[in-house]
């Protein structure tokens, strides 16, 4: 295919484009029209900015019929829009974007839509594309309403180029074109030829360059190529020549003219460059949500007796008040339904798309293309890979190192008022066997001091209690152990259960180890108390000969037994880390999959990629399923890595077959991804999604027994706890890792059923929310 380029008027085109952009904005500023004021004529704000033409008298202006067409009565319309109204917001914040708008676009024509920023051009294109649903009016595309099978929009019958480039910036030029070509089901051989042709024609950089490295003009060329790569019968191009040099702009118009004449492609194009639309078959002037007039450029120049389209637009804007008055009278007396002969002007051509012919294959083919795109995005994102593997695993290791272990080097004050008397009443440790017969008692402060685990408690001796308590108040000590005078004798009398003597309160007080502590850190106080109690058991074992007691007489009345059958956990294998790590695996897996899925969906919404995907015929369910599949592939590997690190690096026992723990983790991966797409669809802004997700995740974490047994939750909160997404899964994973031979139906299945119910709720909710959006299908 060869295109002849005439560069003689390139400089004029460039000047016309620049002047046209300035002029259309100036017209909008100069023309101050109040539609609610029917008593005053339109006003010119600044006479010094008037165009170089004679004074315009409103009485001599031409007022076109709002639904009058320049077409013959037997002309075939590819797009027919009648009396369409579209609003945004609700209540007092309602904004009217399209106000009783009507246009006619014939088959195989190029329709240039002109208007200032904010006049509703993009909204009109969205209505024609089936992305927006108007409140009232009639829209027909090739005789069928948008969104129906016969219209071909949104589907492969439409080529849509949004105002934003809406490209995958983390893909190359070739990959973007391949992605959209495969969404339109082009065969690979045909697709490669069209990619080569468009890359050459539009003078794109090397196809293997990432889109993120391109300039704005280069990205718009790629966006244009993605819209027309499949040669649709209707192309909607929102400012395709913005930022393009005049030579390339001329090439683009030549290409569009070739498509319209040879392939009967209908093209609707918007632009700020007014004079550029001279190359269009028809021009429509739009302002404040209305198409003021539409006609061929030659008819317009003849009617208004001026060769410049910007002057014509100025005159049309100047006459808008009287036209609106005539329209209001006409609409008040006419029925809103259209005349039968107007309907006959539609070019009825039901579109036979690949999706309608092969619905099942096309459904999964689109999912495959989307999944390929999401996986490629993940592999090229260093932050994603860090969040996927390094951050969760490192967090798990750090949590195991820092959480769940016994405190050590706890500063404890040591105050003893009892003085040793080895020559009299006290006996040394090597003579404990004779103490029972000599009626001597051990010096218990020294025996207790030696029995204490000094790795846990850092004993600091003080001469008196006041100094020690002062350091507790200053934060230097966590607690103080105080033994009064004659402690050893009184403690011996309390401990001698076979003496038969009554012990008075004074003796009990002297024989008590007093613990003074700052209970702000209750866990530290509990650690000190438990260490002292454990040391006292050692004291009794050491001093037993002084009482002539056997082991069974001095042992505690509670002993730990073992269950030979059932595969229950052994006390010597299970510690606090074994309790915490399974919960951390579930929480980390859920949180990572949740964060990645929600952020990816929000990023697509903000980058307007959703608009382009929906215009290509994709559905909400395809997008959701593709997200789940691509995220699951990565996070399933992440879950196996979690389990391997826990067992082989952290030493957490796993006594069952690895298949069951992996299955539990994988279900949580799907639950996290489903929750992520649900929150990403419900809250399309990063800030709102972040606040709500943090609140929700914190709430669910508190309910789910990750750091504390769920049995400690009050009765009125237990229902919420066991209905959370991963409470039952955490309990099941703990038991599966600590035991063997468990019952799958009693332990694992309840948690999986709960998670599957949440997955279904999140997925259905996300699909419903996306379908309710104005840009969805």
What secondary structure does DSSP assign to 393-404, as a single string?
Answer: HHHHHHHHHHSS
CB neighbours (10 Å) of residue 347?
Answer: 19
- 498 and 396 within one domain: no
530 and 627 inside one domain:
no
Calpha distance 593→412 (Å, rounded): 45
Is 587 part of a structural domain of the chain? yes
pLDDT-derived band at 324, boundaries 50, 70, 90: low
Buried (b) or exposed (e) across 668-685, using 16+ Cβ within 10 A? bbbbbbbbbbbbbbbbbe
Number of other CB atoms surrounding residue 619 within 10 Å: 19
Is pLDDT at 574 greater than 60 in this prediction? no
Encoded tokens for 234: 């209707």
Percentage of the residues of the chain whose pLDDT score is greater than 90? 32
> Between the CA atoms of 442, 446, 451 and 457, what dihedral angle is there, to the nearest 10 degrees?
150
The average pLDDT across 113-142 equals 90
Q: Are strands 158-161 and 43-44 parallel, antiparallel or unpaired?
A: unpaired
pLDDT at 9 > cutoff 50:
no
| Reported confidence tier of residue 308, pLDDT bands at 50, 70, 90 | confident
219 occurs within a structural domain: no
Residues forming a β-bridge with 458:
411
211-227 per-residue burial string, b: 16 or more CB within 10 A, e: under 16: beebeeebbbbbbbbbb
| 355-384: average pLDDT | 87
Does residue 633 form part of some domain? Answer: yes
Distance (Å, whole) CA 715 – CA 722: 11
Q: Decide if pLDDT at 700 tops 90.
A: no
Same domain for 645 and 720: yes
325 has a pLDDT exceeding 60:
no
The β-bridge partners of 65 are none
- Are 588 and 727 contacting, i.e. CB atoms less than 8 angstroms apart? no
Whether the predicted pLDDT of 81 surpasses 90: yes
Give the number of C-alpha atoms closer than 13 A to the C-alpha of residue 563, restricted to the C-beta side.
Answer: 8
Q: Which of 505, 523, 554 is the last residue of a domain?
A: 554
Q: Is residue 747 part of a domain?
A: yes
Q: In degrees rounded to 5, what are phi and psi of residue 296?
A: -75, 150
Q: Which of 192, 262, 175, 265 is nearest to 228 (CA)?
A: 265
Among residues 761, 741, 742, the alpha carbon closest in space to that of 750 is found at 742
pLDDT tens sequence across 418-433: 888 877 778 777 666 6
* Radius of gyration, alpha carbons of the chain: 41
Total domain count for the chain? 2
Contact 552, 381 (CB under 8 A): no
Give the highest mean pLDDT range of 4-13, 234-243, 564-573. Answer: 234-243
pLDDT at 354: 77
Q: Which tokens sit at 294?
A: 């539409």
Q: Which residue has the higher pLDDT, 513 or 24?
A: 513
Indicate the Cα dihedral angle 486, 490, 495, 497, nearest 10°: 150
Structure tokens at 470: 């002062």
**Is the confidence at residue 110, as pLDDT, over 90?**
yes
Stretch 241-265: mean pLDDT: 87
Q: What is the pLDDT of residues 209-232, one digit of tens each?
A: 999 999 888 898 999 999 999 999
- Mean pLDDT confidence for 374-396: 82
Between strands 31-32 and 43-44, the pairing is antiparallel
Per-residue pLDDT at 128 = 94
Q: 3-state DSSP call for residue 282?
A: strand
The answer to whether position 524 is within a domain reads yes
152 to each of 77, 140, 234, how far by Cα in Å?
Answer: 15, 11, 9
Report the distance separating Cα 478 and Cα 455, nearest Å. 15
Confidence of residue 344 (pLDDT cuts 50, 70, 90): low
- Lowest model confidence (mean pLDDT) among 50-64, 437-451, 521-535, 576-590: 50-64
Q: At a CB cut-off of 8 Å and minimum separation 6, what does 595 contact?
A: 387, 676, 693
Residue 561 has pLDDT above 70, yes or no: no
This prediction has a pTM of: 0.75
The torsion angles phi and psi of 553, rounded to 5 degrees, stand at -75, -30
Classify strands 110-114 and 282-287 as parallel, antiparallel or unpaired: parallel
Distance CA 501, CA 504 (A): 10
CA distance 332 to 326: 10
10 Å CB burial of residue 395 (0-12, 13-18, 19+) is middle
- The whole-number average pLDDT for the span 543-555 is 61
Angle value at C-alpha 147, between 124 and 135, nearest 5 degrees: 50
Q: List strands edge to edge, sheet with 136-141.
A: 95-106, 77-88, 136-141
Residues in CB range of 360: below 8 A, 6 or more apart? none
Alpha-carbon gap, residue 468 to 411, rounded angstroms: 11
Q: CA-CA-CA-CA torsion for 552, 555, 557, 562, nearest 10 degrees? A: -90
**Residue 334 pLDDT exceeds 60:** no
* Domain boundary, last residue among 521, 554, 587: 554
Q: Which residue has the higher pLDDT, 358 or 261?
A: 261
Give dist(CA 44, CA 260) in Å, integer: 40
Q: Is 726 part of any domain? A: yes
Host H or E run for residue 254: helix 246-262
Residue located via tokens 């429509």? 284
* Among 554, 586, 608, residue at a domain's last position: 554
User: Dihedrals φ, ψ of 414, to 5°?
Assistant: -130, 110
Closest CA to 762 of 597, 550, 528: 597
Query: Both 479 and 603 in a single domain?
Result: no
- Asked if the peptide bond before residue 154 counts as cis, ω within 30 degrees of 0, the response is yes
The Cα 441–Cα 488 span in angstroms is: 7
Same domain flag for 580 and 491: no
Residues 483 and 549 grouped into a single domain: yes
Average pLDDT, the chain: 80
**Helices and strands (DSSP H and E) totals, the chain:** 29, 17
**Is there a single domain that holds both residue 387 and residue 433?**
no
Neighbours of 135 (CB within 10 A): 10
Nearest to 300 by CA among 327, 282, 317, 279: 282
The token duo for 369 is 């293309």
Residues 392 and 414 in one domain: no
Looking at 212-370, which runs of residues are DSSP E strands?
234-238, 266-271, 282-287, 290-295
Pair 114, 102: CB distance under 8 Å = no
| Closest-CA residue to 208 (of 237, 234, 176) | 176
pLDDT at position 485 over 80: yes
CA distance 49 to 44: 9
- CATH, residue 484: 3.40.1710
- 381 and 438 fall within a common domain: no
pLDDT over 70 (residue 515): yes
Same domain assignment for residues 538 and 616: no
**Start-end of H helices in 386-519:** 391-402, 432-438, 444-451, 465-473, 487-495, 505-510
Structural domain range at position 481: 410-554
Q: Based on the domain organization, do 611 and 503 belong to the same domain?
A: no
Neighbours of 506 (CB within 10 A): 10
Q: Answer whether residue 570 is part of any domain.
A: no
Does the residue 672 lie in any domain? yes
The tokens describing 761, both together, are 């709720």
Q: Are residues 611 and 727 in the same domain?
A: yes
Which residues are registered as beta bridge partners of 461? Answer: 414
């Amino acid at each position: 295919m060869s295109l002849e380029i005439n560069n003689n008027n390139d400089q004029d085109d460039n000047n016309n484009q620049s002047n046209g952009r300035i002029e259309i904005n100036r017209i909008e500023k100069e023309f101050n029209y109040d539609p609610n004021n029917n008593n005053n004529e339109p006003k010119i704000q600044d006479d010094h900015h008037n165009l170089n033409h004679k004074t315009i008298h409103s009485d001599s202006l031409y007022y076109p019929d709002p639904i009058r067409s320049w077409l013959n009565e037997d002309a075939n319309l590819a797009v027919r829009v009648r009396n369409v109204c579209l609003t945004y917001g609700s209540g007092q914040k309602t904004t009217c974007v399209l106000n009783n708008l009507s246009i006619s676009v014939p088959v195989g024509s190029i329709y240039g839509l002109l208007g200032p920023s904010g006049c509703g051009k993009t909204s009109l294109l969205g209505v024609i594309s089936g992305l927006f649903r108007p409140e009232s009016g009639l829209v027909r595309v090739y005789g069928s309403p948008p969104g129906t099978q016969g219209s071909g929009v949104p589907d492969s019958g439409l080529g849509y180029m949004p105002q934003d480039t809406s490209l995958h910036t983390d893909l190359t030029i070739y990959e973007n074109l391949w992605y959209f070509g495969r969404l339109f089901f082009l065969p690979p051989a045909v697709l490669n030829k069209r990619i080569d042709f468009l890359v050459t024609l539009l003078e794109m950089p090397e196809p293997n360059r990432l889109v993120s490295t391109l300039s704005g003009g280069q990205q718009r060329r790629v966006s244009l190529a993605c819209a027309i790569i499949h040669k649709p019968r209707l192309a909607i191009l929102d400012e395709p020549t913005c930022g393009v040099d005049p030579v390339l702009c001329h090439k683009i118009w030549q290409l569009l003219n070739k498509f319209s004449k040879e392939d009967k492609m209908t093209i609707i194009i918007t632009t700020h460059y007014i004079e550029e639309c001279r190359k269009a078959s028809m021009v429509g002037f739009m302002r404040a949500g209305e198409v003021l007039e539409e006609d061929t450029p030659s008819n317009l120049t003849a009617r208004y007796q001026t060769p410049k389209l910007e002057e014509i637009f100025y005159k049309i804007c100047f006459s808008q008040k009287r036209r609106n008055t005539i329209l209001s009278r006409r609409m008040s007396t006419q029925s809103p339904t259209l005349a039968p002969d107007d309907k006959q002007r539609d070019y009825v051509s039901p579109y036979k798309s690949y999706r309608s012919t092969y619905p099942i294959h096309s459904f999964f083919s689109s999912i495959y293309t989307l999944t390929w795109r999401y996986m490629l995005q993940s592999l090229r994102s260093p932050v994603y890979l860090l969040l996927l593997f390094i951050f969760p695993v490192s967090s798990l290791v750090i949590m195991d190192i820092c959480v769940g272990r016994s405190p050590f080097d706890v500063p404890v004050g040591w105050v003893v008022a009892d003085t040793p008397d080895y020559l009299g009443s006290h006996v040394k440790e090597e003579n404990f066997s004779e103490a029972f017969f000599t009626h001597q008692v051990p010096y218990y402060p020294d025996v207790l001091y030696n029995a204490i685990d000094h790795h846990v408690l850092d004993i600091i001796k003080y001469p008196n209690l006041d100094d020690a308590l002062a350091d507790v108040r200053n934060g230097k000590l966590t607690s103080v152990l105080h033994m009064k005078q004659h402690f050893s004798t009184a403690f011996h009398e309390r401990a001698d259960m076979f003496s038969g003597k009554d012990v008075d309160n004074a003796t009990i007080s002297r024989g008590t180890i007093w613990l003074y502590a700052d209970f702000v850190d209750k866990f530290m106080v509990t650690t000190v108390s438990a260490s002292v109690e454990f040391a006292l058991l050692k004291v009794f074992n050491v001093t037993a000969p002084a009482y002539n007691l056997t082991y069974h007489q001095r042992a505690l009345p509670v002993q730990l037994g073992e269950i030979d059958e059932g595969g229950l956990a052994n006390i010597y294998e299970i510690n606090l880390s074994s309790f915490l790590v399974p919960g951390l695996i579930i929480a980390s897996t859920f949180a990572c999959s949740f964060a990645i899925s929600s952020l990816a969906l929000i990023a697509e919404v903000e980058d307007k990629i959703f608009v382009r995907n929906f215009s290509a015929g994709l559905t909400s369910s395809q997008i959701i399923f593709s997200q789940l599949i691509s995220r699951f592939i990565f996070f399933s590997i992440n879950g196996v890595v979690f389990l391997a690190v826990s067992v082989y690096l952290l030493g957490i026992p796993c006594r069952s077959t690895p298949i069951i723990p992996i299955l539990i983790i994988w279900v949580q991966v799907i639950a996290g991804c489903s929750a992520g797409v649900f929150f990403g669809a419900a809250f399309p802004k990063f800030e709102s999604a972040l606040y709500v997700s943090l609140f929700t995740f914190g709430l669910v974490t508190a309910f789910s027994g990750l750091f504390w047994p769920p049995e400690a939750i009050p009765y009125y909160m237990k229902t919420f706890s066991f209905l959370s997404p991963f409470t039952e899964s955490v309990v099941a994973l703990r038991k599966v890792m600590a035991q063997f031979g468990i019952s799958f139906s009693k332990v694992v299945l309840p948690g999986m059923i709960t998670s599957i119910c949440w997955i279904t709720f999140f997925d259905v909710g996300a699909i419903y929310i996306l379908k309710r959006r104005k840009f969805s299908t």
